[in-house]
Every structure is written in C-alpha cells, then in structure tokens.
Amino acid sequence: MWVLVMFDLPTDTKPQRKAAGDFRNFLRDEGFERSQFSVYARFVNGKEAFATRVKRISRHLPDTGDVLMRFAPKPLNSLRIRTCIIRALPEELL
C-alpha cells in the first residue's frame, strides 16, 4: 500500500523553520521519497507496517501546522484512497 504524507507547516520564525526541516529529514530517514516540496510517499507492506509508520510519524509531528496522510492499496485502479488528519487518527485505520 502506498502512503502519502502531505503537510503545511509554518515557517515564519527560525524555530518553525527548524521544526519543518527536522520533520522533512525525519520522513527521508524513514524511507519516504519527496514527490513535491511538502508531499512525501512510501510503499509499505501490510497493515502492521502501515500502523508502525503512522505511530512513528505521530511521535515526530511538529507542534504547529497541518499534516495529512493518504493511503491507497497496492492496485491503485480500485481508487479507494483514504485520507486522515494524522493528529486525530481514526482507530479503524490501525
């Protein structure tokens, strides 16, 4: 299943820019590839791997800004793409 992480983080102050940069670096360290400046993608195998990624990302969220996570099953032709705001992740996704 493909996992997409999209975010809009404030960069007005130096600490906010550092937090945004740290979050981008964390995603790269976790194996996500940058599709656009604030859009990162990674393929994971199964629900357990997905749940692990969500928990790890949740622990590294910046204090401010919006982070969305989208995921789709491996065959994208089914077009069942789900979206969640990662700060309030529904239980059904884990």
Going by the annotation, the residues of the binding site for Mg(2+) are 8
CA dihedral of residues 87, 90, 92, 94 (deg, nearest 10): 20
d(CA 8, CA 15): 15
The tokens for 21 are: 């940069």
Q: Looking up tokens 């400046």, which residue turns up?
A: 37
Nearest to 94 by CA among 55, 39, 65, 40: 55
Binding residues: 8
